[in-house]
Structure 1
Amino acid sequence: MNSLLPPNATSFERSVEQVTKADMSSPIRFLWNYEKCPTELLYVLAITLDVDEWDERWSDEFKRKTLQEAYLVHSRKGTPDAVRRILRNAGYDEIVIQEGLNGGLRDGSIQRNGLTYYGEEMAFAKYIIWLTKTITAEQARQVRRLLDDAAPLHCELVGLNFTEALILRNGTIYRDGTYNRGTA
């Protein structure tokens, strides 16, 4: 019998070991390798590597890619690169980060185009994320959670925008709160 318990273990400890015994047929060194770790134990590696967002519904390939980039995300936390990586790993493709929004006054001197943040002259710590695909309201909440973990603490997200529309406003589709209109 393969046991990790010492020879003086009690019968209770041996019983608990039998009930909770996992398949440890893989060498221990594989448990730390995102490429060779058994699929059913990837979540343990994710916990160990402090992965911010994990979903058991993800594909095996997607889980392993997230684990591969976990170190890079954590070593560069607070940088635009970390924000891009963590959102890409969560399935949001490429993004554009608009940093240091130019503050403007509503005096007619700046064209209203959705790219200007009004109300403050110094909006250097504010940013907008531009996504390439439409997201649901639930996905917007997930993106905000991820950004809370990855973005610099002194920065403030003022918008999640996307350039691709999933539905058109044509009077035949009713809003039920699932999708937003170009911003989340």
Structure 2
Amino acid sequence: MKKYLQQFKPFLIFIGTFFAAYIGLTVIYKFYLNSFEANDIDGITTMIGHNVEQLMHLFNENTKIAKSLSGPYLEVRYHNKFTVIIVEGCNAVSVMILFVSFVLAFSGKFKTTLLFILFGIALIYIFNVIRIGLLTVLLFHFRQQEHLLHGVLFPLIIYGLVFGLWVFWVNKFSKYAK
């Protein structure tokens, strides 16, 4: 048994670190969400909505985002037509938690790891704001393609970005990079 533990030690450390980070960050995020009232919108989702609205105004798009009166989400009106809603799950925090957990599991030097995590979170955030803006415009014009756009294409973009960041991290900066 000791021989197998020694043989699989790097893998076990990776799995242990990944799950410890993932569970820890998820619990912290749940505590954060629980600090809001049942029908209230968390601050991160509100900030995402504000940034999507700023992005749309940057391109002179007629967009208004406001808290819904009927639930804990933001309503997006594009050209005065209700187009999409932004819920807590749209803020990409769960994707960021997954990203951070993986980078920590394949950590490198402390400073490099910390800087890459901050860079990755910022990049995921920016891509997510762009993703929601594009999704708003595309669903306004192609409502019948909602499943393809929201359920396939846009998750593929955000998870593809995370996968690309992971590959870059492992090959360039992790303790396993050569």
Taking structure 2 as the reference length, what is the TM-score of the superposition? 0.22
- Structure with more helix by fraction: 2
Taking structure 1 as the reference length, what is the TM-score of the superposition? 0.22
Task: Select the structure of larger CA radius of gyration.
Answer: 1
Larger RCO, structures 1/2 (Cα 8 Å, 6+ apart): 2
